A and B are shown apart, each in its own frame.
Chain A
Amino acid sequence: MGAAPIEKVSIIVSKGSFDGIYPALIMANGARMDGIEASLFFTFFGLDAVNKARNEHVKVASVGNPGLHIATWLGGVPGMSAMVTHKLAKRMEELDFPSIPEFLELIHDSGAGLYACKASVDMFELTKADFIDEIDDIITVGEFYEQAAGGQIIFT
C-alpha cells in the first residue's frame, strides 16, 4: 500500500518442468485477476508449456531435485518422475488449479498475451502449428521488449 500499484507484467518462462512452468502461470493469472495487464513469453524449454504434443506431459524432475527430499538413487527409479508429478497435480486439482493446457486457455481468455520466442522456435525447429491455439505470435527478443515497455519483466 502507498507505493504506485503494478499495472503491467511480462513474464518469461524459460524452464520446461512442472515446477518451472506453474509459478509463471499462477503469476500471470493472478495479475489478470487484479486487473494488471499481463503477458507470457515462452523461451527455451519453457516452450514445452505451449507445445501441443508436450504440454499435457510436463513433469517434476525427480533426479537432482533436493526439494523432493528423497534419496538420489530413488529419484532415478523408472516412473518416479511421473508418480511425483501425478501426486502434485492431484493435490493442485483439489485446490482448483487447472492443468497446464486448461490454465493457458484461462489465462488467454483473461486477456493476457501468449508469445513464443523466435530464437528458441528456430533452435528446436518448431513452427506455429506445433503450438496451442492460444499462442498469439512468435516474436523476437526486440519485439518482446517493445511489448514489455512500461511494465515489469519477470524471468522464471
Chain B
Amino acid sequence: MSTQTIAGAEVELNDEGFFVHPEQWNEAVGAVIAREAGIDPMTDRHWQVVRYMRSQYLETGSAPSIRTLGKASGVPVKELYQLFPKGPAKLAAKIAGIPKPRGCI
C-alpha cells in the first residue's frame, strides 16, 4: 500500500496499483494512470469502457465480467482487447479507480 500524488490528487494505491478508496479518483488521475500503463492516448472508446466499469462498480459493488463488459459497455469484446491488450477488465479497473475485479469470467 502506498500514498501517491497523481495529477495533484493524493491517492492510496495497493501493491498492484489498484485504488484503495475509489472516491479519491477523478478523470485526470485516471488519465495519468492510463499513460503509465502504456495507454496513450486514452481515446473516447477507452473512456467509454472505463466510465462504464466505474459506474457498474459504484452501482453494484463489483466490477462487471468481461462478458457483461462486451455486451453492455457499447464496446465489443474484440475491441476491448484491442484497446487494453494486457487484459481489459483489470486494466480498465485500475484506470477507473476501482478495486481489482475478482471474478473468474
Binds A, one of B5-13, B26-34, B39-47, B78-86: B78-86
Interface string of A92-135 (1 = CB under 8 A from B): 00011110000000100111000000000000000000000000
Q: Is A35 an interface residue (CB 8 A)?
A: yes
Given contacts A26-B104, A96-B68, A106-B67, contact A33 B77 (CB under 8 A): no
Partner of B76 from the list A34, A98, A109 (CB cut-off 8 Å) is A109
Interface size on B, residues (CB 8 A): 18
Say which size band chain A's interface belongs to.
Answer: 10 to 19
* B87 proximity list for chain A (CB < 8 A): 32-35
Q: Is A30 interfacial (CB-CB < 8 Å)? A: yes
A109 interface neighbour in B68, B70, B105, Cβ under 8 Å: B70
Q: Is the CB of B85 within 8 A of A35?
A: yes
Measured CA separation A4–B86 after assembly (Å) = 16
Q: Nearest chain A CB to B50's CB is how many angstroms away?
A: 16
A109 adjacent to B78 (CB under 8 Å)? yes
State in angstroms the CA–CA spacing of A30 and B104 once bound together. Answer: 6
Of B76, B78, B89, the contact of A33 (CB 8 Å cutoff): B89
The answer to whether A96 and B65 touch (CB under 8 A), given A30-B104, A106-B70, A109-B76, is: yes
Per the bound structure, the CA–CA distance linking A26 and B86 in Å amounts to 18
| Bound complex: CA A26 to CA B70 (Å) | 16
B103 and A96 form a contact (CB under 8 A): yes
Does the CB pair B88–A33 fall under 8 Å?
yes
With A29-B66, A106-B66 as known contacts, state yes or no: A35 contacts B86, CB within 8 Å: yes
Q: How far is the CA of A110 from the CA of B90 in the complex (A)?
A: 14
Enumerate chain A interface residues (CB-CB to B < 8 A): 26, 29-30, 32-35, 95-98, 106, 109-111
